[in-house]
Structure 1
Amino acid sequence: MPAAPSPFVSTEWLAANLGAPDLVVVDASWHLAPTGRDGRAEFLERHIPGAVFFDLDGISDHSSPLPHMLPDPHAFAHEVSALGIGDGLRIVVYDALGLLSAPRVWWTFKAFGASDVMLLDGGLPKWLAEAREIEAGAATRAPAHFTARLDHSVVAGLPQVERALASGSAQLLDARSKERFAGTAPEPRAGLPSGHMPGSLNLPHSEVVADGRLADAETIRAAVAQSGLDLSRPVITTCGSGVSAAILWLALERIGKRPLALYDGSWTEWASSGKPVETDAA
């Protein structure tokens, strides 16, 4: 299977292209609540020059009780246009951990029709390690016009996931840790049981990321083989709340396997909807 074209740009490339009128840099930093970290606050302290902040929780479906679900196209277009992100621009996304939340925002832009969206290889950690220029404070760009057309085929909802598991029409690949998948470690969201969807497979995103960068194809293939995933069959990526599932999307594309869809609600929706929960102790 041929690998997809690389979705990454290097820090060298970005440094050389900063300030280009058709380029917008997006800081997509986001952290789980237990870490106590605030992506926006950290952005105000330091970010790549000219970057704008994409609030993963803010640019979401506020009518849903689930965290950072995709908004409708009109709301997405309104929010990103206000950030100065418009049609025809080249978009480069990064995050503060190297490769955690940036893939989700990269996938989101692609799902809404962005034609030229890339990820910064190594993210902010690599940029800082190379002592490249940073700036602080709020960032503003002139408002733009973004035309959002959601490709519903890449977004899996609960009914589609239930059908896939029942019929075997697609495999569910879960990016959470082995312990959370097994039900032996708690979920980061209070009141949510750990465990997994019966019949799903586990590939922790940490196994395909090394030092904040996507692992090489050989490492990914070995991790995929260990998970039991059949690369000849469709796959839906999932995780705790639809963020690290996008890391698995990237990893699978690197080895030439484009996923069928990403389960937006992921484990948070499944486990809070009274659906069957399986654990290693069951």
Structure 2
Amino acid sequence: MTSPLKDDPKTLVSTDWLAAHLRDPDLRVLDASWYLPAMNRDAKAEYAAGHIPGARFFDIDEISDLRSDLPHMAPPVEKFIARMRAMGVGDGHQVVVYDGQGLFSAARVWWLFRLMGKTDIAVLDGGLPKWKAEGRDLEDMPPIVRDRHMTVSRQAGLVKDVTQVAHASKLGLAEIIDARPAPRFRGEVDEPRPGLRAGHIPGARNVPFAEVLNPDGTLKDVAALRAVFEGAGVDLAKPAITTCGSGVTAAVLALALERLGHRNWALYDGSWAEWGMYEDLKVAKG
């Protein structure tokens, strides 16, 4: 029996909490659904067909640094501000972000807001599947948007680049925690992105993101989360760097660490899409 979720508007809120606050004038809801090609789902079409009332669609692939060859890297500050203002999201807003998988891509947007210095953002626990399973309202009309000023203060400590991760790997300065499924982490299967080597960053620990979730797609409670990380050999007293295939599910682990009270974490934005591409970076298997 898991203990009831403790709602926290800076990390995670329940469907009950969102339903109670849905009409608050300063609440903004974002649909951040994003899927891997193999999932054969169209996030924009699903949003258009039905979303939580008032939700705006957050396009993870478009609200990114399109100058990079890597997928959906964090956007420049100016682009983030412009896109959020166009969506009517700004200073003084409490943001709740969800996705159509349960808890998959929404945490990426939670991390992105945190990177931009915005802390009044929470992930909807269990996402759209839980909301729908409870018979709650949906709508198929886009919301009326009014421009809102946004100020940003980028928190550089919440993101790591390949040089910083290589340094941490070599010197053991941080726990590098990989959210990919175990067969990919161990290098037993090919990566879904062509041209990438198989395996993991030397010294990394494997916590597949699904292991921090309950069967219904909600995040496990604090005691269970601690057991998952420690069971994977993660020393929670050390700084943590989360990674995955392309920086999406790494954010699920970042959210889990934040819920645990582990504040010294960062996300490797390039993740395996970058590390697996460079022949001069070492790869471990097994």
TM-score by length of structure 2 reads 0.93
Aligned 1:181-200 pairs, distance under 5 A: 181-200=185-204
Alignment partners' CA distance in 2, 1:267 and 1:235: 16
Show the counterpart of 2:256.
251
User: 4+ residue stretches of structure 1 with deviation over 3 A?
Assistant: 137-140
Note the alpha carbon deviations across 1:19-52, whole angstroms, 9 max, x for none.
Answer: 3211100111010112121211110111001100
| Cα offset, 1:222, TM superposition | 1.8
Find the partner of 2:166 among 148, 158, 162.
162
Any idea what SS the aligned residue of 1:118 has? strand
Aligned 1:126-275 pairs, distance under 5 A: 126-210=130-214, 211-274=216-279, 275=281
Alignment partners' CA distance in 2, 1:194 and 1:44: 37
Check whether the contact 1:52–1:140 (CA below 8 A) recurs between aligned residues: no
Alignment partners' CA distance in 1, 2:144 and 2:187: 44
Find the partner of 2:282 among 255, 276, 279.
276
Which is worse superposed, 17-26 or 92-101? 17-26
Residue identity matched to 1:31: Y
Show the counterpart of 1:38.
42
Question: Share of identical aligned residues, percent?
Answer: 49
| Cα offset, 1:9, TM superposition | 1.8
Alignment partners' CA distance in 2, 1:58 and 1:130: 31
Alignment partners' CA distance in 2, 1:224 and 1:15: 32
Note the alpha carbon deviations across 1:173-217, whole angstroms, 9 max, x for none.
Answer: 101010000011222212222210111111111111112111122
Structure 1 gaps, min length 5:
none
Alignment partners' CA distance in 1, 2:43 and 2:101: 10
| Cα offset, 1:146, TM superposition | 1.6
Note the alpha carbon deviations across 1:99-156, whole angstroms, 9 max, x for none.
Answer: 0011110111111021311111211111101111101143341122222221111110
Alignment partners' CA distance in 1, 2:258 and 2:94: 21
Check whether the contact 1:83–1:140 (CA below 8 A) recurs between aligned residues: no
Residue identity matched to 1:248: L
Find the partner of 1:89 among 68, 89, 93.
93
Are 1:61 and 2:68 an aligned pair? no
Structure 2 gaps, min length 5:
1-5
Any idea what SS the aligned residue of 1:214 has? coil
Show the counterpart of 1:105.
109
TM-score by length of structure 1 reads 0.94
Alignment partners' CA distance in 2, 1:97 and 1:124: 7
Counterparts in 2 of 1:259 and 1:202: CA distance versus 1, 3 Å: farther
Check whether the contact 1:171–1:236 (CA below 8 A) recurs between aligned residues: yes
Alignment partners' CA distance in 1, 2:192 and 2:105: 16
| Cα offset, 1:5, TM superposition | 7.8
Check whether the contact 1:169–1:234 (CA below 8 A) recurs between aligned residues: yes
